[in-house]
Chains A and B, each alone.
Chain A
Amino acid sequence: MSIEVKNLVKAFDEKTVIDDISFKVNDGEILAIVGFSGSGKSTVLKLICGLIPYDSGEIITSEGDIAMVFQYSALFDSLDVEDNISFALHERKELRKKFTEKEIKEIVAEKLELVGLKGIESKFPSELSGGMQKRVSFARAIVTNPNTILYDEPTAGLDPMSSTLIEDYIVSLKHEINAASIVVTHQMSTITRTADRVIMLYDGKIVFEGTPEELLKQETPYTKQFVTASLEGPMQMQA
């Protein structure tokens, strides 16, 4: 077990956005969290990585780092690619002592090669395309070999080919570092190409849990509405 979420509850200004949800993700498994905008998907990720505190419930993670790939990459725009990727190695006391500058350079080159971006160490984020920025943020996230990786809409805003590339990296990273991964997305290709299991959130609750194949079968009103992107159904968009 790498991540276990038990009876998690989170409210903002008396509005409950996560309402008593529980799920597990094992090592080497990819869980997709899907749902319409505003259903609380990204909030779950922020709760897991500790960016916001939860009101009640429990989040149990295995020892080790949790990494997150942000929706808009969140690269440090004043640092070049090398400094972005090596940020944790330079700034975390225990890691700073562990590696020499030469070793850090080698790790950066190795991670860049893993995401197919060799030799761009000296470039700044503003000089890269959206897809390349996303891949650099992958490299930054995996630099400490985390055992949990959280992806917040990794393919949002990318062209279909870049999306496929990113989806392939998510799957290859799973094999490479055997991390437990959670992918928040509402893109069907990302769900079908990357996920082992899927949970669907609506109004802060889990309304479906199963495999991508089961999702595509549209056997419940929720899965039917989501897959067909219909306005008719139990899920109503918030005004």
Chain B
Amino acid sequence: MITLRKYLKQSATYKFFTQFGIIFADFLDTLGKITQMGLHVAKCVLKGEIEPKELILQCERFGISSLPITLSIVGMTSMIVASQVALEMVKQGGSGLIGLLMTMLIVREVGAIMSGFALTSMIGSSLASELATMRVTEQIDAIDVLSVDSVSYLFVPRVLSGLIMMPVVVVIASIVGVIVGAVTSDIFAGLTYRAYFDSAWLGLYMKDLGVCLLKAATFGATIALISCSCGYFASGGAKGVGLATNKAVVWSFIAIVVLDMVFAILFFF
């Protein structure tokens, strides 16, 4: 019996399920912590515990400092799509639909999702490593000992700045994306700007713009909440900071894709 148990413990199946159990437990633990922090932030916001000075600083960080990289990523994605689509559409006689296709694609998906990825890698990782460093150097403990609510102080301005600034970033990035699409279509397929912009507005409705802004705000708040939570619950030294940052980026990427799917099902099916 003992031999059988020992044999089972060494088997690949046992190891697989053990590892799976550990990963699943960690997943539930992280999800629980993010939810707990989200509820705490909501409570603080409802009570009006917002520090305007800190909020402005975080908005500047979330919006202005991230703009160059976000615009570059959305612009380049738009260029890649337009360069491949425009020529083929012209060949197939669909040149009148290039503007429509590009605008729909950028406003409904590319603008928000690529900005989300850009902001995760630039701002999310920085939020997670900042809070994780504060945790491992006992700065968060110091905030708590001074009887200041560390979640309210650290999370509220960061999550609100994501909620406020991400729609602004996505709108600017989408405008840049549409313009880059027009320029690329002209270069690669000889499509005039007039032909591009004449069709650009045909498939665009107010609902698209509304969903785009709502999605952007949700992405922004989610990226900030996940990143702050991963950093806040970090432990250990430099390795702990690295793990927290890594976790924040992975979780934010997955959350963006899952939320995007939810938005698509809710609003476009």
Please give the residue numbers on chain A whose beta carbons come within 8 Å of chain B beta carbons, in ascending order.
Answer: 46, 49-51, 65-68, 70-72, 74-77, 87-88, 91-92, 140, 144
Contact = CB atoms under 8 A, between A and B. Distances in A.
A72 B137 contact: yes
Contact of A51 (B139, B145, B148): B145
B139 A91 contact: no
22 contacts: A46-B141, A50-B144, A66-B145, A67-B145, A68-B145, A70-B141, A71-B138, A72-B138, A74-B138, A74-B141, A74-B142, A75-B142, A77-B137, A87-B143, A87-B148, A88-B146, A88-B147, A91-B146, A91-B148, A91-B153, A92-B147, A92-B148
A208 B138 CA distance: 30
B148 A49 contact: no
Contacts of A70: 138, 141-142
A49 B145 contact: yes
Contacts of B147: 65, 88, 92, 144
B139 A76 contact: yes
Interface in B209-265: none
Nearest to A78: B130
B23 to A, nearest CB: 20
Interface of B: 51, 134, 137-139, 141-148, 153
A93 B254 CA distance: 38
Determine the main DSSP class of A at the interface with B.
loop
A74 B148 contact: no
A87 B146 contact: yes
A223 to B, nearest CB: 31
Contacts of B148: 87-88, 91-92
B154 to A, nearest CB: 11
Query: In the complex, which of the residues A50, A68, A74, A76 has the most CB atoms of chain B within 10 Å of its own CB atom?
Result: A74
A172 B147 CA distance: 25
Nearest to A87: B146
Given A70-B141, A75-B142, 14 more contacts: A50-B144, A51-B145, A66-B145, A68-B145, A70-B142, A75-B139, A76-B134, A76-B143, A88-B146, A91-B146, A92-B147, A92-B148, A140-B146, A144-B146
Nearest to B140: A74
Contacts of B139: 74-77
Contacts of B144: 50-51
Nearest to A49: B145
Nearest to B53: A90
Contacts of B142: 68, 70, 74-76, 140
Contacts of A68: 141-142, 145
A70 B141 CA distance: 9
A50 B148 CA distance: 13
A42 to B, nearest CB: 10
A168 B143 CA distance: 26
A191 to B, nearest CB: 23
A91 to B, nearest CB: 4
Which 7 A-B pairs give the minimum distances between C-beta atoms? Answer: A74-B138, A74-B142, A88-B146, A91-B148, A68-B145, A70-B138, A49-B145
Nearest to B147: A92
Contacts of A71: 138
A145 to B, nearest CB: 13
A75 B140 CA distance: 10
